[in-house]
Amino acid sequence: MRQGRFELKLVPDWDTVKASWDDCHRFLSEHGLDGDQAYALSMTAQELLENAVKYGGFTNAAQRVELYISLDDRDVIIEVKAPAHGDPARLKKLDDTIQWIRGYQSPFEAYVEKLKQVSAQPYAPGESGLGLARVAYEGQCVLDFYVDETDVLAMSAVHHLL
């Protein structure tokens, strides 16, 4: 029976987050995921961590971005927690993006549509939703999020193994 849990608490810094790839990949491989699955889910963790670092509402140096991966025979659950941004419009946009992805019959269609949208816009760094669409498509994950009573945003990606 497969069962495991992995967690990391990271300084919300780009290089620190990038360096977590190897630990994620090792954990997933050691728990029996094949190379392609371990890669796709490590990518998923990276995309969620990158979003947390970019758009999290970090207000002091003690705050961390937290990564949790749990798995069993049925599912792999990847969860990233970070302080929620103070602007409610950000949460609304996140919710809209997730609902928009779910509205497509297949995540592939959503991803292609998002690529087309991005290609037609003038370049400006910021939220495009491309990373979430990619997680849904390439990671084959169902996305969700909640904000807890301490204003921490928990973003989850669930990948069904069966």
Partner 1 sequence: MPTTESFTEKTLSIDLTETDDRVELIWKGKSNDRDPARFLMPILQNALGRGGNGKKQIVIDFASLDYMNSSTFSPLVRILDEAAKGQHRLLLEYNQGRKWQALSFSALKAFETPDGRIALRGK
Element (H, E) at 9: strand 3-10
Site string for partner 1, 142-161 (x = CB under 8 A): --------------------
Q: Between residues 130 and 154, which has the closer beta carbon with respect to partner 1?
A: 130
> Is residue 50 close enough to count as binding partner 1 by CB under 8 A?
yes
| Token reading at 144 | 């969700």
Nearest to 25 by CA among 3, 2, 43: 43
Angle at alpha carbon of residue 98, lines to 20 and 94, rounded to 5°: 75
CB of 53 to partner 1, least distance (A): 8
Which residue in 1, 3, 89, 125 binds partner 1 (CB under 8 A)?
125
Site residues (CB under 8 A) for partner 1, limited to 4-33: 14, 18, 21
Contact 40, 107 (CB under 8 A): no
CB of 123 to partner 1, least distance (A): 6
> Taken in order 129, 132, 138, 140, is the CA torsion positive or negative?
negative
Whole-angstrom Cα distance, residue 135 to residue 155? 12
- Chain contacts with partner 1 (rule: CB under 8 A): 14, 18, 21, 36, 39-40, 43, 46-47, 50, 54, 108, 111-112, 115-116, 118-121, 123, 125, 128, 130-131, 134, 137-138
